[in-house]
Structure 1
């Protein structure tokens, strides 16, 4: 074992402080700890409190010939500073005479010498267990001892040597092979030393009905208690807008908050136990409780390096989402803002949220314009992780916008939450400086518009339909469009009551900037129409459509005033410009149309606009563009 890394499991240690001490010692000496109640095949050592247990991990470790040791092995090794020889600490079946016959040592020595690969070698077992959970447990136990396990019906070419049944009924006695109860596994492993364990298993089989009735009674009592508590303590809980009708009996602002021990996270991460550290954090996700951000930053850095498994990436995404849902920004405004400002940035560069957003978009578009070199080529799992991180940022911004709306409507007064000034929000800090707060067209907002246009073109530029669908599944354009709408609504909420004219001018300037960006990038008609139509913010959608039409009229030699958008303005300016666009499009691409009888335009006066356009040329293309 000197050259192999020790992988430990623990069984039978009920005292929490002692178990933590054992785990800390394992990690301190460079070992790996694997939690959970199921036996793990890659384990090398099992630490047990007593010499004889009825747990799956103990039985499987004995059948596999693994080291089964007392906690003192870890404690003494820590005192020495290195791992000690295991033999003196091996568990004994008898406390009175440790040197007596020890089946645990016997199986370990047989496996170590190579005489047997496992205690159940050459067994071909037909496993018939009614309870699915226990069936899986016995299957792991048999496989640990190198038995081959089959479920009914067995393959016809296999010669079954043992039939294991729980419960054991009379109709199984005449089966294709000798039939045994599951306690036979214990008898095979330990012989006469298993009387207590076998009797325990038999008692569990004899009284299933009483146990089930007791569980049912407790479930009914639990339901009644929950109903009573909810009825007496029901309070509205402010969650995200889609959960505003949700009611929670627990107040997030209560003085008694949940506590958790994060002392072992640092040592776990130092020893590359990233999955175990993430599981420890996931078990402590309670409202008002935030694990140290430095540990989550380390886990995020590990994920972004491309070395994490798909399961780890999924669990990390769930943890980040749960943190945001359990700690909404409008109930803990200052604390949550500082926490996520530290978390939502590049773990390596630490330059803030906006460079992190730019890096996410660049990486998903396979661009080299990232804050630092990232692993390539981009794996689908990493692309999904970056997309999920962008969705988390959007969710946080939506929460801050909801905080402004809820504060204005008085929803936060009942929760006892004071509203922050605009400069106290992460959204404001990301998109505006002190000198830019009076306009929505800040430097960061201009960059957001530029990214939005680039992503919209990127999603549609490939001809391969499968590749196009794969790009669209990342939802980058949709999320950036939602983010732009949130930014605009946030700015409008801050200034609308004080200066409506400032808001109208700012929206007009922003819409003109969007129109200019789409024009300079030669956005196709399909992309342009979809871009404007999908804007969630109605006021942004209206001013942007107006700006696009004004740009269209100017390019077609029509003068359009600055008056608000009205039906008269559309009829007298926009529709004639659209018709001229159609004429030019047909003439350039298909040649002159054959002459037919003229068509009168009922929507315009002859003095302002007249002309003859063939019937066939009047049908506009399905999508329009002011830039063709």
Structure 2
């Protein structure tokens, strides 16, 4: 019938003969698929072909069948003309649905509605098949004829694994096929929200997000027990790759995309990479240390303020610029200093030699310049694009810590006037920059810090529980109170401004889902874990340890970084319960009526409540 051109009759004959254990000849289905792709098949044929494929999947699922069935699916699910394997065929399907010309061979054009719907159904079929394989591996239902259970060899022989990874790529998540799938997802996302488009891609974006999530989950589950570090590196590489590809996509669009990701581990790394990239695009640095609860509340929350005050409709340039002007405050008043930094000055000048070198203590040139009060060097470094003003040495000290410790008043002023400004409430073993300045008798620097950050700094306690005011005599405290009031007044004027609500909402969405996914994926201690035999519970031990000793002393000698991270998160949760970190959220953001920002505030309040509960259970 196929040779005589009776395709509809042949398909009806095949449809009535699909039963468990009975597979129609693969060449027949390939011939029918080729006929469907020519663009002349009637709608009833296209619909019946999809029904045959789904019935075939239900009666003969490849994950519950021998290898011969998997080879059968691999033979059918490829381009009937090119016959290059499942992934090139899947790539062609996606490209056709996105009206792209990069298909394995030319397809009928312009895009035919019936053929477009047919290819979307094929893409959905691929997704269902891969979801079935993932579910079977997750639940242990992936079986052979002579036994059951999941093995590494069996998972490696799956259709999904064979479609997205060659034999030489299986040790990396970011294979060429996964890279291409990520690129197609970015293209679909950008087209979905482009003005003037006819909006044909919303379902495509959802399907591609689900497909990428299935691919990532399958690879991670296959490798996690063997090499957890390999899985973490693969996820981070994929997230960074996506962030680079999507730099020209609106932040609002990317935030909505993150919400759609069903995989928790993929959502975590994607939200983190996109948020950091968004901060970089808006001139805010957040540091490159591993993700933790402390990093989110110490660095990401202040970055949210920068997003809120970013002028609407203006996108800052991301390419290098070699001109900068910085003003510093001295005892004699305000002095404006313009510093020109170009490539020749970096090559010929002696001032910035060794910019990227660190000494045995991990100190950068910026650290050393702040210790020596070399303000000209500090200004030149701050003028360079990409300078991390919060960079830490091996002990955790930032350049601001060093400047406050050594009385480098001009350097402190330069750091505080830099955009974005440094984090002023960062503590190392309980020592904040304000503590550092007061302990060493630099009261002028202390005033400068308080005028910059307000009275919230006065509530910080060091490792022994002392506030900054405890370090002064009663007669000296009035001056600090006055400086704190000046800072509070300036912050109130600044805090009421939300200049870019869409960007704030996008950042709030990313940060909210980042915190939520972090809790699900990494786990945070809660007061319920302290119930029962409290004295021997892990949560009780962690809370008791970090309340009595410094984190470095408790974790000394620990080799499992997951345990160290859990200890750090426990300490951060307790600090949140005492009201730390949340004071840096401006009143303007707290009073913002944006739905996503309100949701983020609720999450932060919940974290604070959990910290209070942990402390109260001891």
Residue 506 of structure 2 is matched in structure 1 by 624
* Equivalent-residue separation in structure 2 for 1:601 and 1:398 (angstroms): 54
Q: Secondary structure of the residue that 1:434 maps to in structure 2?
A: coil
Larger-gyration structure (1/2)? 1
Residue 171 of structure 2 is matched in structure 1 by 438
Residue 346 of structure 2 is matched in structure 1 by none
Compute the displacement of 1:554 (Å): 3.8
Is 1:488 the equivalent of 2:216?
Answer: yes
Compute the displacement of 1:295 (Å): 0.4
Residue 308 of structure 2 is matched in structure 1 by 582
Residue 565 of structure 1 is matched in structure 2 by 292
Residue 9 of structure 2 is matched in structure 1 by 276
Compute the displacement of 1:406 (Å): 2.8
* Equivalent-residue separation in structure 1 for 2:295 and 2:263 (angstroms): 23
Q: Secondary structure of the residue that 1:585 maps to in structure 2?
A: coil
CA-to-aligned-CA distance 1:105-152 (integer Å, 9 cap, x gap) = xxxxxxxxxxxxxxxxxxxxxxxxxxxxxxxxxxxxxxxxxxxxxxxx
| Counterpart selection for 1:392 from 106, 116, 125 | 125
CA-to-aligned-CA distance 1:516-537 (integer Å, 9 cap, x gap) = 1111xx0112320111111110
Q: Structure 1 residues 584 and 316, CA, compared in 2 at 3 Å: closer, same or farther?
A: same
* Equivalent-residue separation in structure 2 for 1:608 and 1:510 (angstroms): 42
2:18–2:59 Cα contact (<8 Å) kept: yes
| Counterpart selection for 2:258 from 516, 523, 532 | 532
Compute the displacement of 1:538 (Å): 0.5
Compute the displacement of 1:553 (Å): 3.7
Is 1:321 the equivalent of 2:54?
Answer: yes
Residue 547 of structure 1 is matched in structure 2 by 273
Q: Secondary structure of the residue that 2:225 maps to in structure 1?
A: coil
2:251–2:278 Cα contact (<8 Å) kept: no
| Counterpart selection for 2:201 from 471, 478, 481 | 471
What is the aligned-residue RMSD (CA, Å)? Answer: 3.1
Q: Which ranges of structure 1 fall in alignment gaps of 5 or more residues? A: 1-267, 590-597
2:64–2:144 Cα contact (<8 Å) kept: no
Compute the displacement of 1:506 (Å): 1.7
Is 1:503 the equivalent of 2:231?
Answer: yes
Structure 1 moving runs of 4+ over 3 Å:
410-420, 552-555, 586-589, 598-612
1:599–1:614 Cα contact (<8 Å) kept: no
* Equivalent-residue separation in structure 2 for 1:315 and 1:404 (angstroms): 30
Q: Structure 1 residues 323 and 411, CA, compared in 2 at 3 Å: closer, same or farther?
A: closer
Q: Secondary structure of the residue that 2:2 maps to in structure 1?
A: helix
Is 1:369 the equivalent of 2:102?
Answer: yes
Q: Structure 1 residues 587 and 368, CA, compared in 2 at 3 Å: closer, same or farther?
A: closer
Larger fraction in helix: 2
| Counterpart selection for 2:161 from 423, 428, 435 | 428
Aligned ranges 1:326-405 → 2 under 5 Å: 326-405=59-138
CA-to-aligned-CA distance 1:450-494 (integer Å, 9 cap, x gap) = 011001112222436xx21x433xx22111111111111111111
Aligned ranges 1:128-139 → 2 under 5 Å: none
1:401–1:486 Cα contact (<8 Å) kept: yes
* Equivalent-residue separation in structure 1 for 2:265 and 2:16 (angstroms): 43
TM-score (normalizing by structure 1)? 0.50
1:397–1:486 Cα contact (<8 Å) kept: yes
* Equivalent-residue separation in structure 2 for 1:362 and 1:463 (angstroms): 20
1:554–1:560 Cα contact (<8 Å) kept: no
Aligned ranges 1:278-297 → 2 under 5 Å: 278-297=11-30
616-625 vs 390-399, which moves further: 616-625
Q: Structure 1 residues 312 and 586, CA, compared in 2 at 3 Å: closer, same or farther?
A: closer
CA-to-aligned-CA distance 1:288-337 (integer Å, 9 cap, x gap) = 11100100111111111111111111101100111011111221141221
615-624 vs 578-587, which moves further: 615-624
Q: Secondary structure of the residue that 1:421 maps to in structure 2?
A: helix
Aligned length: 342
Q: Larger relative CO (CA 8 A, sep 6+): 1 or 2?
A: 2
| Counterpart selection for 2:35 from 287, 295, 302 | 302
Compute the displacement of 1:585 (Å): 2.2
Compute the displacement of 1:623 (Å): 3.9
Q: Structure 1 residues 341 and 608, CA, compared in 2 at 3 Å: closer, same or farther?
A: farther
